[in-house]
A and B are shown apart, each in its own frame.
Chain A
Amino acid sequence: MAAPCVSCGKAVSYRFFLGARVSLAREQGLWKAAAAEVQTGTASQILRLRHTTVVSTKKNIAALRRETYTLDFIKKQIEEFNIGKRHLANMMGEDPETFTQEDIDRAIAYLFPSGLFEKRARPIMKHPEQIFPKQRAIQWGEDGRPFHFLFYTGKPSYYSLMHEAYGKILDVEKHQNQLRAQGLFSEKTKTKDLIGSRWLIKEELEEILVEKLSDQDYAQFIRLLERLLTLQRGGAEEEFVQRFRRSVTIQSKKQLIEPVQYDEQGMAFSRSEGRRKSAEAEAVVYAHGSGRVSVNGTDYLLYFPVTQDREQLMFPFHFLDRLGKHDVACTVSGGGRAAQAGAIRLAVARALCTLVTEEEVEWMRQGMSGVGGHGCSHAVPECLSDSCSGYLKSVRRHLNVQYAGLRAPLFMLQNCNSIFQF
């Protein structure tokens, strides 16, 4: 079959593909070639020729219905982008050499002001790699043979990744067996601290592989990686696994903690603010006291006749087991009754961060009762350099739960041994 094709000339050489349609001009050329063949070849050959006149300039069959961007096209776009960047820099009067993406964004926002609410609909100018979706390069060669040995599985990159991971597992096991045989195997398992990182999510993995995955595929892959983690592994495997983990920022580092202040009488107190809905509160928590709380100058019992609001105030103290130990004087404005209670609660929690140890701050953030109840009675008034903004998150979570029902706020305390559980 190759021979008659070759004789037909170069135009036909790329054209033995499955399925695609042929443009008219080429068809004529082919038919001419076919006609030529008729004279020379047999009917079957003609038939074969007919069937094989599929060629098209479209290279990626799978993306037939989607636009595909050729490499040339992308390259051209990149060049245009760079030139445009320099033009823009000139327009804005800045140095083209040191014009960064943030500068571009600012310039575009200035030159094309848009009032659209959807931020993604506003004009943007970014590098083409961020705009055009990633596509797979051609996966088969001139002769039609696919490059990758797993091409016919349909998901070559995924399966090759799995293959690689499994290969690594086998290697490690083999290594372990060798060590055992030699008697040098030691049971120590160094558990790498996996706390600050998480596995890739399915979307991220799809993005890396440029292939669609199913949930089971993804789960299988993660299981394989976790199995690799359980074995003793060397540096190479470690690096392999780390490619698939993303770090999770520790939120608690983000919040500033005010240092403890001292007022005229020498009493240690700490002041901070909190907001909820449209209520704003500022709370001053004294380090030593008897549990009196005054809101806007009046007693909290009079200000919040509803028990639910007082429960909100109680929660930060109860969580840290410091119920009768602090006095609070706070001011609040705006919002409604429950919003004010929530705002004060947040302000009190933040103020307590100062008066409380760092572990407890982290504990508050995560809202767990896992950290054993070590008595946190020493209110060390040190300037904590780390912060506990994550408490915001857990507080928000708590707050979001509370409106599920009237007494629901203390559902959160189910693991915190509160007396009020409804």
Chain B
Amino acid sequence: MRERSGTPNLHELDAGHFLHTGSQAPQNLAAHLDNQVPVESPRAVSRTSESDPAKHGEQHEGQHYNIPLQDLKAVFPHGLPPRFVMQVKTFNEACLMVRKPALELLHYLKNTNFAHPAVRYVLYGEKGTGKTLSLCHIIHFCAKQDWLILHIPDAHLWVKNCRNLLQSTYNKQRLDQPLEASIWLKNFKTANERFLSQIKVQEKYVWNKRESTEKGSPLGEVVEQGITRVRNATDAVGIVLKELKRQSSSGIFHLLVAVDGVNALWGRTTLKREDKSPIAPEELALIYNLRKMVKNDWHGGAIVLTLSQTGSVFKPRKAFLPQELLGKEGFDTLDPFIPILVSNYNPKEFESCIQYYLENNWLQHEKAHTEDGKKELLFLSNTNPGQLERLCAYL
């Protein structure tokens, strides 16, 4: 019933905010000349001008950093939570908050040893605490570091509400999902343009009687094939995953596998065959291939996963622990992983979030900037970022 949303508003600060404030500049400047301190401190709390995630450290915790909008389109053709996308559109800027879980992950990623098998990191936490946006933060970092991003925005979309299931051309027992696969391929292409020409396939793939991809041709061709021939989209996805896994060890590029809602890979689906018999996830080709991807038998990159109850099927609302959401099978498969808990805002982050809203004139209520008002919001949202965002939408 609920859409996948609700992760915290990781707001960013405009770099050079004094220039950006445009119409407010004259009054602000005048105010600044009069008394620097009160106006400075809220800004110091809520924003930072450091827009490179690589340089984010402890001192930036709680502050928002800005992602330029062109970058946004390039790095995140898919994958941002819908509410966040709306907010970006409203504010005309994309600001993400730097938070501890993300910082921790960044630290690990900076120190990855690419010779070792890929380490799995699992972001887990209660609903609305900021897992998806933390993942986006990581992805932005990796994109800046020139990694190849393999981002599945929401694995739940692949196990529910799919029409047009076709029998797989590759393996008779499995089922294809042409629509989802083609959409994903399009977004993948947008995100990783530059790599598609560099990476060469190492096998020959025959699509049908007339078409085939030769060995040594760029990966982009496979992707094109998937996009144009929707029937083969799922197989194209499978090929992409296989190639990338094989070649990431070679060291040309680093691979980041980012899956949101990874608990969809194990468990149940809501899909049924024509004879109304349920389909297990393994029988879906996309899921099958993705599972192979998530195994840590390759090296040269990292795997960052997020658990999510919001879009999940057949899982109770209050479940958020890995054991509950992944089930026994999933947990065993993922077994050696590093869990990272994403929790609600601490007071500093909360304050920062409110400041960000106030700066963008999002909170119109006259009591919103009083202490009492803040306390009310704190109580009502219990510092949960998702709830806070929803509450503030009313004000």
Contact = CB atoms under 8 A, between A and B. Distances in A.
Contacts of B375: 323-324
B380 A307 contact: yes
A412 to B, nearest CB: 14
Interface in B337-379: 365, 367-368, 372-373, 375-379
Chain B contact residues (Cβ within 8 angstroms of A): what range? Answer: 20 to 34
Contacts of A313: 379
A301 B382 contact: yes
B295 to A, nearest CB: 33
A137 interface: no
A317 B368 contact: no
A299 B377 contact: no
Contact of A310 (B318, B365, B368, B379): B379
B4 to A, nearest CB: 16
B387 A318 contact: no
B318 A318 contact: no
B379 A418 contact: no
Nearest to A417: B367
Contacts, number: 53
Interface in A258-310: 291, 298-302, 305, 307, 310
A327 interface: no
Contact of A420 (B126, B318, B376): B376
A419 B391 CA distance: 11
Interface string A380-421: 000000000000000000000000000000000000011110
Dominant secondary structure at the A interface: mixed
Contacts of A417: 367, 372
B318 A418 contact: no
Interface in A87-105: none
Contacts of A323: 372, 375-376, 378-379
Which of A301, A305, A418, A419 has the most chain B CB atoms inside 10 A of its CB?
A: A419
B384 interface: yes
Contacts of A358: none
B372 A310 contact: no
Interface string B67-99: 000000000000000000000000000000000
A321 interface: yes
B395 interface: yes
Contacts of B391: 307
A307 B381 CA distance: 8
A321 B372 contact: yes
A172 interface: no
A314 interface: yes
A313 B387 CA distance: 16
Contact of A302 (B318, B365, B376, B377): B318
Contacts of A311: 380
Contacts of B372: 318, 321, 323, 417, 419
A301 to B, nearest CB: 4
A317 B379 contact: yes
Which of B317, B373, B375 has the most chain A CB atoms inside 10 A of its CB?
A: B375
Nearest to B395: A419
B366 to A, nearest CB: 9
Chain A contact residues (Cβ within 8 angstroms of B): what range? Answer: 20 to 34
Contacts of B384: 301
A300 B387 CA distance: 13
Interface in A304-342: 305, 307, 310-311, 313-314, 317-318, 321, 323-324
Interface in B189-218: none
Contacts of B390: 307
Given A298-B318, A302-B318, A307-B391, A419 B368 contact: yes
B131 to A, nearest CB: 16
Contacts of A420: 376, 380
Given A419-B365, A419-B373, A324 B318 contact: no
A311 B378 CA distance: 11
B277 to A, nearest CB: 34
A318 B378 CA distance: 12
Contacts of A299: 382
A419 B376 contact: yes
A318 B382 contact: no
Contacts of A307: 380, 387, 390-391
B381 to A, nearest CB: 8
B279 to A, nearest CB: 31
Contacts of A301: 381-382, 384, 387
A298 B390 CA distance: 22
Contact of A418 (B376, B378, B387): B376
A305 B317 CA distance: 10
B376 A300 contact: no
A318 B372 CA distance: 9
Contacts of A422: 394
Interface in A5-51: none
A301 B126 CA distance: 10
Contacts of B378: 291, 323-324
A298 B373 CA distance: 25
Contacts of A302: 126, 317-318
B325 to A, nearest CB: 15
Interface string A338-357: 00000000000000000000
Contacts of B387: 301, 307
A300 B382 contact: yes
Interface string B205-240: 000000000000000000000000000000000000
A19 B367 CA distance: 76
A323 B376 CA distance: 7
Contacts of A321: 372
Contacts of B394: 422
Nearest to B391: A307
A144 B126 CA distance: 92
A114 to B, nearest CB: 52
What 6 A-B pairs have minimum CB-CB distances, sorted nearest first? A323-B375, A301-B382, A419-B373, A419-B367, A419-B376, A314-B379
10 contacts: A300-B382, A307-B387, A318-B372, A318-B379, A323-B375, A323-B376, A323-B378, A324-B379, A419-B368, A422-B394
Given A324-B379, A419-B395, 6 more contacts: A314-B379, A321-B372, A323-B375, A418-B376, A420-B380, A422-B394
